Chain A
């Protein structure tokens, strides 16, 4: 009997140990020990990749880089309007092929190096002179999209040269017109310290095995002029720590430290906020917005500078070459209902391929109304009353423009089936065949979207060439559309540019309709009730220097 009693005791003690440790500590600062006023803790969704913004194209890395680095210009917080940053004035010469910048004086990088004309040109020359695998869009996606080629490549480059005019004045020459100042507001083109870049071999990206090895500069010593400086990335704890730049040229940050905690699970992020162990977090689930507000939290919505569209590719579905078929699909899609029932609050049904905040947005363009009868008529007229089409949607992914791909797919499928179309669903994992299949032209109709990195209006990455994922080369208008896109992007006169953009958007919708724009989707941050000064950016790059607690 004694032995048994012993066993019971062991069991009881073992089970109590775990409970006792909970109970012994009553109402201390909940869970963690963060002191408000000193530290701002932000719950990110994913881990950052590299901190050198020139090599990153993902939101997680760029949000951190945006605290450490600054570009020549910036967008007014919460808008797509340009304002001075490291450059105080800028002007255009030679029809927009040359841009001169007056630089801010008295600015220092956080390693003590002075920011001047030489440092600025050092950065521009560095981008253009990338070597080896760093020229791959897998490493330098931003530059490939915006500028094209690098020094010594056959691929033409928008960039020509950077000249130092005096200590605080530079001129940048381009090979053709482009809205260069707008590009210079992008965090991907932020200014790094030449000293630090040389010391930590910033350009030494090498391919090894099936990946890239990045230099110490990009991983451990990113050095900019921003309101915060980089301290550490602790992989074991999943935190990135920044501290205030005490010598910052502008208004110094109100908090002393910013800590990013990487919390991939959405429910866990919410529980962390509720437990008071983080102050804010990214992308709360839209279904939680109301209950978060009810619990006294703030839901800060970012305007959607993005687009969700249904892409077409006629390679495997020749029916799509008929304008009437594409129009019928547009008429058959009940976008208002989709936006209201399947998308986050604040989603706007799209009338064109660029978002309302874009400077070239055409406000007079009317959306295609939902008209199933008209859709049926058009299909019959085109000789495809019983159209059968594959509709692709991705799994294992949530994109800012498409938080729940399957919900969008279901809504579109239901709409299309109502007009007698037979929809064959194809679901593939995002990185497991979806993007590949789409790039290879296997998907006749597919859900996808695009995010703009700065406040431009271009649809050049969609339709500026004919050999694209939409296979516009298969349409008689492919070349015409590409030429029109390029002509619009090259227009330097602001008034004419606006006009051309309006015309282009109208033509894309009414004359070409290469794909169907669906919606512009906001994303959000959740923050504790006492967090102030967190201004949502349409590009997701909030700067935390203005954050304080009440």
Chain B
């Protein structure tokens, strides 16, 4: 177990190192750069050259990379040039992370709590109306672009009915104590229930919109996986042995069917981060996705570098955790 962990962590570090080099080179191959973003409509060649020299952008790319890595080991990631000028990129990441975690977690919670039971249900009613109906619903979930769904949800619930706020994370005038930066959790932790309630109301629509894609994927995988397991010999044997329906489903079918589902959930967490770019924009949630989009528009090298690296780190760690959970779900898997 320990050896396995160490091996995985070494793999992780290698992946991050390679990614950091690729990302660094790739960002600088993009046309334009922070200098033109900083100088705007009016800039002369001289201004440009001076500014590039001041920022060290005139040096060879490997020197820039080594300097960047050197600063990172001193805990300095460098200031943002576009997303929030003057603030350290890591500070921006840490400020933006809670909003994205909160939103993604809630979206995943909605997706999982609906998709697994429904997937199971569809599989056990294979070919019937309910099965086909659920498949159609999940297809619609994948097919509707998030921004369109967002528009409709906002129009209906916020503008027309006026029961939910159209965007943002909190209402003007309702500002709670910040503990984790996740407004809903903070409200609960500090017992400021109005704050928690307000945050929850702001989260409902974006979380629903963001949940559609993982919901559809997890639903389909659950259904397929349950169907497959139901056909397995050991299920037939167990049934023949006279196991009760409950024991059969709980211990033999569901547990075995969940393994690919857990993998999918792990992979979908990555997809959530990219889905968050759109969702956060249309619902104006100031999370990582929005910062990433803004960083790209303003060619904010430092922030892009840090955000992408950290997103990759999270992704890798999540998948490591997913792999570890196999051991708990499936007694046949032994790590080591």
Contact = CB atoms under 8 A, between A and B. Distances in A.
Interface stretch (B2-10, B54-62, B230-238, B327-335): B54-62
A4 B124 CA distance: 9
Contacts of B132: none
Nearest to A8: B121
Interface in A279-297: none
Interface in A191-213: 207-213
B298 interface: yes
Interface stretch (B11-19, B170-178, B257-265, B314-322): B170-178
A48 to B, nearest CB: 9
B117 A11 contact: yes
Contacts of A237: 168-170, 175, 286
A453 to B, nearest CB: 11
Interface residues of A, number: 84
B213 interface: no
A212 B283 CA distance: 30
B278 to A, nearest CB: 10
B172 A275 contact: no
Contacts of A211: 34, 55, 78-81, 85-86, 300, 302
Contacts of B204: 18, 21-22
A271 B167 contact: yes
Given A25-B163, A238-B286, A210 B34 contact: yes
Interface in B289-311: 290, 294, 297-302
B165 A209 contact: no
Q: Which of A39, A234, A440 counts the most chain B CB atoms within 10 A?
A: A234
B98 interface: yes
Contacts of A39: 172-173
Q: Which of A14, A234, A431 counts the most chain B CB atoms within 10 A?
A: A431
B223 interface: no
B121 A212 contact: no
A145 B41 CA distance: 12
Interface in A426-441: 428-436, 439-440
Nearest to A429: B32
Interface in A149-186: none
Contact of B85 (A35, A212, A261, A436): A212
B174 to A, nearest CB: 6
Given A268-B166, A432-B32, A434-B32, A275 B284 contact: no
B39 interface: yes
B63 interface: no
A239 B286 CA distance: 10
Given A265-B281, A467-B44, A209 B158 contact: no
A57 B40 contact: yes
Contacts of B68: 209
Interface string B58-98: 00000000011001000011111101111100001001101
A268 B279 CA distance: 12
Q: Which of B151, B181, B250 counts the most chain A CB atoms within 10 A?
A: B151
A263 B167 contact: yes
Interface string A1-39: 011100110110011001001110111001111110001
Contact of B172 (A32, A57, A236): A32
B193 interface: no
A240 to B, nearest CB: 12
Given A136-B47, A207-B55, A4 B121 contact: yes
Nearest to B172: A34
B85 A264 contact: no
Interface in B146-187: 151, 154-155, 157-159, 161-175, 178, 181, 183
Interface string A241-285: 000000000000000000101111101100110111100000000
B89 to A, nearest CB: 8
Contacts of B164: 22, 31
A238 B47 CA distance: 32
B274 interface: no
Nearest to A34: B172
Contacts of A10: 113, 117
B51 interface: yes
Contacts of B87: 219
Q: Which of A10, A267, A268 counts the most chain B CB atoms within 10 A?
A: A268
Interface residues of B, number: 96
Nearest to B64: A210
Contacts of B121: 4, 7-8, 11
Contacts of A428: 31
B79 A22 contact: no
A47 to B, nearest CB: 7
Nearest to A263: B284
A50 B82 CA distance: 11
B158 A275 contact: yes
Given A3-B249, A211-B78, A32 B282 contact: no
Nearest to A465: B44
A518 B141 CA distance: 46
Interface in A418-432: 428-432
Contact of B57 (A210, A213, A436): A210
B35 interface: yes
B104 to A, nearest CB: 16
A431 B298 contact: yes
Q: Which of B34, B85, B201, B286 counts the most chain A CB atoms within 10 A?
A: B85
A144 interface: yes
Contacts of A263: 167-168, 284
Contact of B297 (A212, A214, A431): A431
A274 B37 contact: no
Contact of B41 (A25, A212, A214, A435): A435
B129 interface: no
A546 interface: no
Given A237-B168, A265-B284, A210 B55 contact: yes
Contacts of A212: 79, 81, 85-86
A275 B299 contact: no
A450 interface: yes
A468 interface: yes
Contacts of B42: 141, 145, 450, 461
A264 B284 contact: yes
Contacts of A209: 55-56, 67-68, 71, 76-79, 302
B50 interface: yes
A242 B257 CA distance: 56
A519 B36 CA distance: 25
Given A449-B41, A467-B44, A439 B36 contact: yes
B59 to A, nearest CB: 11
A213 B157 CA distance: 42
**5 tightest Cβ-Cβ pairs between the two chains A and B:** A209-B78, A433-B31, A214-B86, A32-B171, A31-B165
Given A49-B86, A209-B302, 13 more contacts: A4-B121, A7-B121, A11-B114, A27-B162, A33-B174, A49-B85, A213-B79, A236-B178, A271-B166, A275-B166, A276-B162, A431-B32, A435-B39
Interface of A: 2-4, 7-8, 10-11, 14-15, 18, 21-23, 25-27, 30-35, 39, 41, 47, 49-50, 57, 133, 136-138, 141, 144-145, 207-214, 218-219, 234-239, 259, 261-265, 267-268, 271-272, 274-277, 396, 428-436, 439-440, 448-451, 461, 467-468
13 contacts: A4-B124, A31-B165, A137-B43, A208-B79, A210-B301, A211-B34, A211-B78, A214-B85, A264-B290, A267-B282, A268-B166, A431-B36, A439-B36
Interface of B: 30-45, 47-48, 50-51, 54-57, 67-68, 71, 76-81, 83-87, 92, 95-96, 98-99, 110, 113-114, 117-118, 120-121, 124, 151, 154-155, 157-159, 161-175, 178, 181, 183, 200-201, 204, 208, 245-246, 249-250, 281-284, 286, 290, 294, 297-302
